[in-house]
C-alpha cells in the first residue's frame, strides 16, 4: 500500500476507529512520508517532536484558510477555533496564551488535588448507588465526562447546573478538528459552536455585572480594559476552547485508560495497591492510546526531516498516536508497560502549542485511576465499548461497566492495604 492509499484508509471510518495498523503501513515508508504534492504525514517520534518545536512550522493562518477553506468566516465553528490560541501563531498566540496561563501554573494545579479527589469520590458514590443491583452503567456519562467538566467549569466560573449542557455542544463542535469534514458534519459543528458562543456571551455579561474569582472574569476584565490585548471575538473563542479542551481530552484519557487497565489485570492490581505509581501509569496510558491522535502544521520556510526536503508551504499532518508508538523511541510499542523508562508521550503536543491544561489533565487521571481501582475492585466491562468515529480526538461514545461491591479496605480517595504485584 503506498502512502497516499494508507492515508486515505486512515481517514476512512474503519481507519478512524482503529488507526494503529494504518500507522504502521505509513511508517513502512519512513518517519515522514509524502502523500501529495505538498502534503506529508509524520509518524516518527523524533521528527514529530522536532517539527512541533521548529519555528518554521506553524498552524494555518488566515491567508492560508482563505486559500484552502474559502468562506470559513461564515462558519461559526471554524471561525471560533481560528480566533482562539489553538489555531493562531505568534505573536497573537503568545499574547492570548499568556492571559490564561496563570490559571494553569503547577502551583495552582497542585492546589486543586483535594477538589479533584472530592469530586471523584462523589462520582464513585453515585456509581455505587446506581449500580448496586449489578445494573450496567455508562462510565463515560457517569464518570469520565462529569469529573473533568466539573473541574474546568469551576475554573471558568460556570454554574454547576449548566454542566450537562456542554457534552453535546462540545461533541458537535469538535468535529471541525477532524482532518476531513463533510458539509453535513460542518453544519453540526456550527450548531455546537453557536450554542457555546451564545452561552459564553451571556456569561460574559453576567461577569461584567457581578465579577467573581474565576478565569472568565479575569479575561473579561482584560478585554474591557484594553481590547488590543484581547478582542471580543478572541474572548469568546478562547472561552469556548478552554472549556472544550479542558474536558474533551481528559474524558477520552479516562475512558481509553480504563479499558486498557481492565485488560491488564496485573498492572491494575499493582496500581490498586500503590497509587504512588499513578504518574508513570498515566504517561504510559497517554502513550499507548493517546486521546489526541494528530495535529497539523504548515511550513513557512524550507526544511528537511526524515530524509525529505520539505518546501515552504508544505502541509504536515503530525500523527501523535503514531509517534507515540515509534519503536525507535519505545521498544515493543504495542505493549502496555507503565514501568518503561523515560516515558514522554507527545499526546499533549510540544513546543509553543503544548497543551495549556496538560498538567490538570494528568492530575485528574492520576487521582481517578487509583481511586476507581481501589474503591471498586470488581469494576468490569459490561459489554462492548462503542468507539466514536473520530481520529483527532480518540475516545468512546459509550463504555458500559458494572461496579461490583466497594472495597472494605479503602478510605474515601485513599486506597490502602494491597500488597505490591509483580509487573
DSSP designation for 398: E
pLDDT in the model for residue 215: 96
Return the percent helix, strand and coil in the chain, to nearest 5: 55, 10, 35
Instruction: Give the CA count within 13 Å in the CB-facing half-sphere of 16.
Output: 19
Phi-psi region of 88 (alpha: psi -120 to 50; beta: other; left: phi over 0): beta
d(CA 366, CA 254) in angstroms, rounded, equals 10
Q: What is the CA radius of gyration of the chain?
A: 21
Beta bridge partners of 387: 396
Residues in the chain: 423
Cα dihedral value 324, 326, 332, 336, nearest 10: 10
Task: Name the one residue in this structure whose C-alpha cell is 485511576.
Answer: 369
Coil/strand/helix, residue 42: strand
d(CA 359, CA 135) in angstroms, rounded, equals 34
User: Mean pLDDT per segment of 10 residues, for the chain of length 423 residues?
Assistant: 92 93 96 94 98 96 84 92 94 95 93 95 96 94 97 94 92 92 94 97 97 96 94 95 93 98 97 96 98 96 96 96 98 97 96 96 98 97 94 97 86 44 34
d(CA 35, CA 37) in angstroms, rounded, equals 7
Model pLDDT for residues 168-178, shown as the tens digit of each residue: 999 999 999 99
Coil/strand/helix, residue 139: helix
pLDDT in the model for residue 61: 87
Amino acid at each position: 500500500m503506498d502512502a497516499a492509499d494508507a492515508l486515505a484508509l486512515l481517514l476512512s471510518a474503519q481507519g478512524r476507529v482503529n488507526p494503529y495498523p494504518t500507522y504502521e503501513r505509513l511508517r513502512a515508508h519512513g518517519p515522514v512520508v509524502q502523500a501529495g504534492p505538498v502534503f506529508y504525514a509524520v509518524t516518527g517520534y523524533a521528527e514529530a517532536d522536532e517539527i512541533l518545536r521548529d519555528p518554521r512550522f506553524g498552524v494555518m493562518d488566515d491567508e492560508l484558510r482563505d486559500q484552502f477553506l474559502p468562506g470559513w468566516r461564515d462558519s461559526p465553528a471554524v471561525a471560533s477555533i481560528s480566533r482562539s490560541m489553538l489555531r493562531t501563531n505568534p505573536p497573537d498566540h503568545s499574547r492570548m496564551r499568556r492571559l490564561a496561563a496563570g490559571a494553569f501554573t503547577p502551583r495552582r494545579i497542585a492546589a486543586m488535588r483535594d477538589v479533584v479527589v472530592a469530586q471523584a469520590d462523589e462520582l464513585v458514590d453515585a456509581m455505587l448507588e446506581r449500580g448496586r443491583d449489578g445494573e450496567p452503567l455508562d462510565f463515560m456519562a457517569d464518570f469520565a465526562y462529569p469529573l473533568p467538566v466539573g473541574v474546568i467549569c469551576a475554573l471558568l466560573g460556570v454554574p454547576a447546573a449548566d454542566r450537562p449542557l456542554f457534552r453535546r455542544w462540545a461533541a458537535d463542535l469538535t468535529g471541525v478538528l477532524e482532518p476531513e469534514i463533510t458539509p453535513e458534519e460542518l453544519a453540526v459543528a456550527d450548531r455546537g459552536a453557536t450554542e457555546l458562543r451564545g452561552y459564553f456571551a451571556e456569561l460574559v455579561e453576567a461577569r461584567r455585572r457581578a465579577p467573581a474569582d474565576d478565569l472568565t472574569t479575569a479575561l473579561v476584565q482584560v478585554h474591557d480594559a484594553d481590547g488590543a490585548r484581547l478582542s471580543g471575538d478572541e474572548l469568546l473563542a478562547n472561552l469556548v476552547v478552554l472549556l472544550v479542551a479542558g474536558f474533551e481530552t481528559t474524558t477520552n484519557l479516562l475512558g481509553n485508560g480504563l479499558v486498557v487497565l481492565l485488560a491488564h489485570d496485573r498492572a491494575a492490581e499493582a496500581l490498586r495497591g500503590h497509587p504512588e505509581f499513578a504518574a508513570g501509569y498515566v504517561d504510559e496510558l497517554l502513550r499507548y492510546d493517546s486521546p489526541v491522535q494528530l495535529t497539523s502544521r504548515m511550513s513557512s520556510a524550507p526544511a528537511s526531516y526524515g530524509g525529505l526536503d520539505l518546501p515552504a508551504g508544505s502541509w504536515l499532518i503530525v500523527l501523535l498516536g503514531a509517534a507515540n508508538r515509534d519503536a525507535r523511541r519505545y521498544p515493543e510499542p504495542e505493549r502496555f508497560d507503565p514501568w518503561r523508562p523515560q516515558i514522554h508521550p507527545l499526546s499533549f503536543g510540544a513546543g509553543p502549542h503544548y497543551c495549556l491544561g496538560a498538567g490538570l489533565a494528568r492530575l485528574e487521571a492520576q487521582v481517578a485511576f487509583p481511586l476507581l481501582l481501589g474503591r471498586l475492585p470488581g469494576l468490569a466491562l459490561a459489554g462492548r465499548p462503542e468507539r466514536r468515529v473520530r481520529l483527532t480526538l480518540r475516545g468512546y461514545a459509550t463504555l458500559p461497566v458494572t461496579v461490583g461491591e466497594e472495597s472494605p479496605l479503602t478510605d474515601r480517595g485513599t486506597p490502602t492495604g494491597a500488597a505490591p504485584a509483580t509487573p
